[in-house]
Amino acid sequence: MSENYTSKPLHSISVVIATLGLEPIEKTIDSINSSTIIPSEILIWIPTSYKKNIPVLNHPNIKVVLTEVKGQVAQRSIGFNRASGDIVMQLDDDLILDCLCIELLMNKLLLQGACAVVSPNFICDSSKLSIYQEVDRNKVFLNFYYWLINGNKGYMPGTISSAGVNFGLNTNIDKSNYYNVEWLAGGCVMHYKNNLVLDNFFPFSGKAFNEDLIHSYLLKEKGCKFFIVKSAVCYLSTISSSDFSVKGFLRNFFGDYKSRKYYVKLSSKSMVRMHFFYFFWVASYFSDKLSSLIKKL
């Protein structure tokens, strides 16, 4: 079935990007401004001490705003408060939007009404497949693992397990275009401005691990419903945990642990099942590292 596209938006759209300028943001900006619907403003929030990292961006709808606040959620919350559009899209600084992405997201948002929050289909830029395709491991082991972290429900795409572990949605294997899910990845989310969480809800410093789970919980408390639009494509690069050095892995592990523990308590999930998840995560990382080392010998 063909889609009907409009050349002009009926609503003003603001894009909010929180950045440190460590990623080359030009391609992201170019993809936004090459869309079939171009946002009225792109707000780039960056701490003053990092301003040298932002290149000159010659687009009339861009506003680079310096802030003394550092932290993805904190910077984004300021951007949310300052956004003028009645539709606001949060976007990471390293993502590339398909030219129809914004329009398709907006169409779904308007179709679902005032409580809707929508997100695109995240595709790996190298494989052109969903970033949530299932891992290639023994099925018996996987079923046991999913039972440990989610009980008899097992693996349920698009949901959040009893362990507070979010299951991604593998769009490679489903013909549907719209999905009603329990959480949305924070890299690209479109909201009605009236539904925004305007405060800095992330209680830790440093990288905002699992902020999308906390954010989804708070939006759900406001009565929001979450949708993924398969035809709205967003490209990104992916990296496996096993590609990290031991030091990098441990840094990510502890950051992930403290934030997920906070979320599990907030949402009354199972701390025991959460620890099963981390046991298998650590075991899997070192098993993959050992296998890689053996192959090199």
Cα atoms found within 13 Å of the Cα of residue 113, Cβ hemisphere only: 4
Is 10's pLDDT higher than 70? no
Q: Are 75 and 47 a contacting pair, CB within 8 Å?
A: yes
Interval 54-59 mean pLDDT: 89
Cα atoms found within 13 Å of the Cα of residue 211, Cβ hemisphere only: 24
Which DSSP category does 193 fall into?
G
Q: Are 262 and 134 a contacting pair, CB within 8 Å?
A: no
Closest listed residue to residue 90, CA positions, set 122, 125, 130, 43: 43
Contacts of 221 (CB under 8 A, 6+ apart): none
Could you read off the pLDDT of 26-42 as tens digits, one per residue? Answer: 999 999 999 999 999 99
Could you read off the pLDDT of 150-193 as tens digits, one per residue? Answer: 999 999 999 999 999 999 999 987 778 999 999 999 999 999 99
Of how many residues is the chain composed?
A: 297
Question: In this structure, how many other beta carbons lie within 10 angstroms of the beta carbon of residue 286?
Answer: 12
In angstroms, the first-to-last Cα distance of the chain is: 54
Q: Are 162 and 270 a contacting pair, CB within 8 Å?
A: yes
Q: Are 57 and 21 a contacting pair, CB within 8 Å?
A: no
Q: Are 256 and 124 a contacting pair, CB within 8 Å?
A: no
Q: Which two three-digit tokens encode residue 229?
A: 């639009």
Q: Are 208 and 259 a contacting pair, CB within 8 Å?
A: yes
Q: Is 266 helix (H, G, I), strand (E, B) or coil?
A: helix
Q: Which two three-digit tokens encode residue 97?
A: 């939007």
| Full-model pTM | 0.92
Closest listed residue to residue 48, CA positions, set 21, 87, 25, 80: 21
Residue type (1 letter), 220:
K
- Tell me what the pLDDT averaged over the chain comes to: 92
Could you read off the pLDDT of 75-134 as tens digits, one per residue? Answer: 999 999 999 999 999 999 999 999 999 999 999 999 999 999 999 999 999 999 999 987
Closest listed residue to residue 123, CA positions, set 81, 63, 166, 168: 168
Contacts of 240 (CB under 8 A, 6+ apart): 288
Helix boundaries (H) for 84-153: 101-112, 139-150
